């Protein structure tokens, strides 16, 4: 009996040890499961990378398909011998109505792209940088397709001889038709060859206004080639449409009303005050400018030494920029700009929709797509409070005759430029006396 008891004692001890180990393991599993449940309860479901990318791919595919269909419809509309079914449809309706409907479809697609860009920007704090760049490239392809279709839909301009302007005013008095076929500026030194030169030429080509932009400028919804002018556009002038700015130097531009979108390229030493932009505001190749913008989304490319005062509905995005400084566009600034009508809507910009940015100041939550390190990007900084300037009160809108009656100094070149800029009924405040 003693021997039997001796033989069973080790077995019972081992069983006890195994039981204790099993109990501890089960307790650990239960603790891990509880932590996972607590983490899932506290986490924001919108911060799921896979879920966001899946939704993005689905929406992007739908937008790309619509853009492809619109391009095909535009090609058929411009074809001298369209398909029989389309030809019958065109005979039953006004071709201009078909063209207008197709242009509206492009606007709707563009609005969808802007919404998708906004949601991606709002998720940028938890999305990997690679996925952000892929998303930006994919949406850029859709935008490029839309611009190509817009160009195909734009009415062809009739050829006409024009008198060559004087050298001193050539840049200002260039007509829209001449601007459409003007050669691209060659800014690259001749000794730079190869891929870098090709990339720079492609960049310059992208900075040129498209045929659609030229039509906007011709219809009074854009400015190009102005030097030393002060331009004021009120809400009635803007009409809630898109507005474009190209090749401005030393200008003060007040866009005091609602716009669907704003595009600005090649601005030098300008001051631009714009709001409210319901969609995206794009700035490309600006230098030494002050930009005060209230917009749902702000994107800045290839821009240097600029101060940006923003009221944004999503995180601002910069790429290939240097020397940018950011500050808030305050309620006092909006009041100075006489934007009381847009003040309430603009005040909602920057509140965020959750997504980790609720309660934060989005004007300073800048995403630099050219800086992937965890440290602060050297390409932008917060503008010190002591160096911030309040938005000015816009000058009263006056015609050129009223400016002359008040002895406002207007150089002939500036007068011609302003007259060309307001040909479609826009208002002009004055022209700075900057003689050529």
pLDDT tens readout for residues 214-257 = 888 888 899 999 999 999 998 888 988 899 999 999 999 999 99
Residues 295 and 416 reside in one and the same domain = yes
Looking at the fold, whether 299 and 405 belong to one and the same domain comes out as yes
Does residue 357 lie within any of the structural domains?
yes
Answer whether residue 25 is part of any domain: no
Among residues 313, 324, 327, the alpha carbon closest in space to that of 277 is found at: 313
Judged against a pLDDT cut of 90, whether residue 161 lies above it is answered with no
pLDDT at 209 over 50: yes
Tell me what percent of the chain is helix, strand and coil, each rounded to the nearest 5.
Answer: 50, 20, 30
The number of distinct structural domains making up the chain is 2
Question: Is the domain of 113 the same as that of 243?
Answer: no
> Which domain, by its residues, includes 61?
50-153
Q: What percent of the chain has pLDDT over 70?
A: 63
Residue 327: which of 355, 306, 347 has the closest Cα? 306
CA dist 379 → 6, 266, 303, 335 (Å): 79, 19, 10, 31
- At 268, which CATH number? 2.160.20.70
Q: Report the distance separating Cα 187 and Cα 172, nearest Å.
A: 19
In a domain, 206, yes or no: no
Mean pLDDT across the stretch 275-296? 92
Give the integer Cα–Cα distance in Å for 299 and 311. 13
Among 139-148, 335-344, 355-364, the minimum mean pLDDT is found in: 355-364
Last residue of a domain, one of 153, 187, 202: 153
How does pLDDT run across 350-365, given as a tens digit for each residue? Answer: 554 444 444 347 899 9
**Interval 117-137: pLDDT, tens:** 767 776 776 778 788 888 888
Domain boundary among 94, 123, 153: 153
Whether 308 contacts 326, CB under 8 Å: yes
Query: Which of 43-47, 49-53, 338-342 is least confident?
Result: 43-47
């Amino acid at each position: 009996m003693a021997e039997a008891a001796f033989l069973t004692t080790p077995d019972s001890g081992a069983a006890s040890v195994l039981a204790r180990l099993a109990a501890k393991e089960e307790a650990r599993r239960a603790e891990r499961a509880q932590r996972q449940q607590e983490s899932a309860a506290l986490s924001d479901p919108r911060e799921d990378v896979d879920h966001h990318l899946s939704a993005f791919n689905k929406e992007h595919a739908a937008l790309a398909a619509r853009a492809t269909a619109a391009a095909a419809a535009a090609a058929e509309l411009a074809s001298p011998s369209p398909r029989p079914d389309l030809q019958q449809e065109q005979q039953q309706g006004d071709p201009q109505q078909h063209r207008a409907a197709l242009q509206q479809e492009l606007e709707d697609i563009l609005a969808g792209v802007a919404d998708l860009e906004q949601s991606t920007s709002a998720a940028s704090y938890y999305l990997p940088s690679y996925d952000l760049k892929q998303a930006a490239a994919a949406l850029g392809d859709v935008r490029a397709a839309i611009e190509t279709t817009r160009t195909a839909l734009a009415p062809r301009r009739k050829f006409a001889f024009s008198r060559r302007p004087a050298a001193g005013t050539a840049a200002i008095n260039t007509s829209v038709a001449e601007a459409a076929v003007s050669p691209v500026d060659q800014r690259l030194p001749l000794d730079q060859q190869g891929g870098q030169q090709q990339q720079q030429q492609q960049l310059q080509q992208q900075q040129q206004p498209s045929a659609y932009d030229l039509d906007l400028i011709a219809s009074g919804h854009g400015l190009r080639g102005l030097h030393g002018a002060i331009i004021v556009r009120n809400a009635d002038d803007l009409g809630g449409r898109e507005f474009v700015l190209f090749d401005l130097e030393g200008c003060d531009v007040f866009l005091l009303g609602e716009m669907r979108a704003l595009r600005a390229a090649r601005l030098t030493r300008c001051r631009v005050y714009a709001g409210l932009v319901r969609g995206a505001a794009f700035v490309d190749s600006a230098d030494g400018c002050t930009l005060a913008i209230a917009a749902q989304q702000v994107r800045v490319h290839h821009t240097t030494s600029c101060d940006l005062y923003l009221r944004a509905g999503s995180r601002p995005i910069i790429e290939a920029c240097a020397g940018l400084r950011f500050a808030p566009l305050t309620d006092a600034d909006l009041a100075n700009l006489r934007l009381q009508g847009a003040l309430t809507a603009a005040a909602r910009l920057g509140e965020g929709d959750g997504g980790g940015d609720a309660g934060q100041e989005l004007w300073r939550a800048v995403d630099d797509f050219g800086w992937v390190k965890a440290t602060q990007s050297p390409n932008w900084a917060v503008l010190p409070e002591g160096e911030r300037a309040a938005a000015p009160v816009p000058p009263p809108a006056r015609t050129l005759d009223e400016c002359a009656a008040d002895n406002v100094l207007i150089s002939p070149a500036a007068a011609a430029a302003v007259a060309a800029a307001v040909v479609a009924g826009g208002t002009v405040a004055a022209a700075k006396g900057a003689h050529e």
